[in-house]
Amino acid sequence: MSESENQLIEQATAARVRSVAPFSKFLVGAALQTDEGKVFTGCNVESASYGLTVCAERVAIWKALSEGERDFARLVIVADTEQLTPPCGTCRQIIWEFCKHATIVLANLHGQKEEVHIADLLPRAFDARFLREARQ
């Protein structure tokens, strides 16, 4: 694992403690690195209406997109779990649409880490190409 990747894990771990998770107590942090090396972090934010809760991955992605970034190299996700925690289904869809070429690093507070790719986490993904086909 590169020094850059270790720094991203540290940034995602720091973002994790800023989570607002009064209901689940499940804190997750994310760090999204652009191809140029700029980093956007995110933490999960819960709502009493669970449907309005936003995951750390999406927070980081929305922050980057809202700043005009479009090209991403790496997304690190950190949770305090024994098994490495993959992104939820909603986040997998958003990662596919906006970060499909980024390497995803799953990490926990026990020093475990694993690199995965979104195509492995979301096989046969739905995206805009299906919408174009439907209009033809």
> Based on the number of CB atoms within 10 Å of its own CB, is 52 exposed (0-12), middle (13-18) or buried (19 or more)?
exposed
Q: Is the dihedral of CA 62, 99, 124, 108 positive or negative?
A: negative
Per the prediction, the chain carries an average pLDDT of: 95
8 or 2: which leads in pLDDT: 8
**For 19-34, what is each residue's pLDDT tens digit?**
999 999 999 999 999 9
- At position 43, the amino acid (one-letter code) is C
Summarize the confidence of residues 93-109 as an average pLDDT. Answer: 97
Q: What is the pTM of this model?
A: 0.94
Residue 136 has pLDDT above 70, yes or no: no
H-helix or E-strand containing 93? helix 89-99
> Would you place residue 37 in the very low, low, confident or very high pLDDT band (cuts 50, 70, 90)?
very high
Would you state the pLDDT for residue 133? 73
Known catalytic residue at 36: no
Residue 36 has pLDDT above 70, yes or no: yes
> Would you place residue 3 in the very low, low, confident or very high pLDDT band (cuts 50, 70, 90)?
confident
Instruction: Spot the catalytic one: 5, 57, 114, 133.
Output: 57
Summarize the confidence of residues 99-116 as an average pLDDT. Answer: 97
Domains of the chain: residue spans and CATH: 3-135 (3.40.140.10)
Residue 96 has pLDDT above 90, yes or no: yes
Measured between alpha carbons, how far is 99 from 84 in angstroms, rounded to an integer?
20
> Based on the number of CB atoms within 10 Å of its own CB, is 104 exposed (0-12), middle (13-18) or buried (19 or more)?
buried
**For 70-81, what is each residue's pLDDT tens digit?**
999 999 999 999
Would you state the pLDDT for residue 24? 96
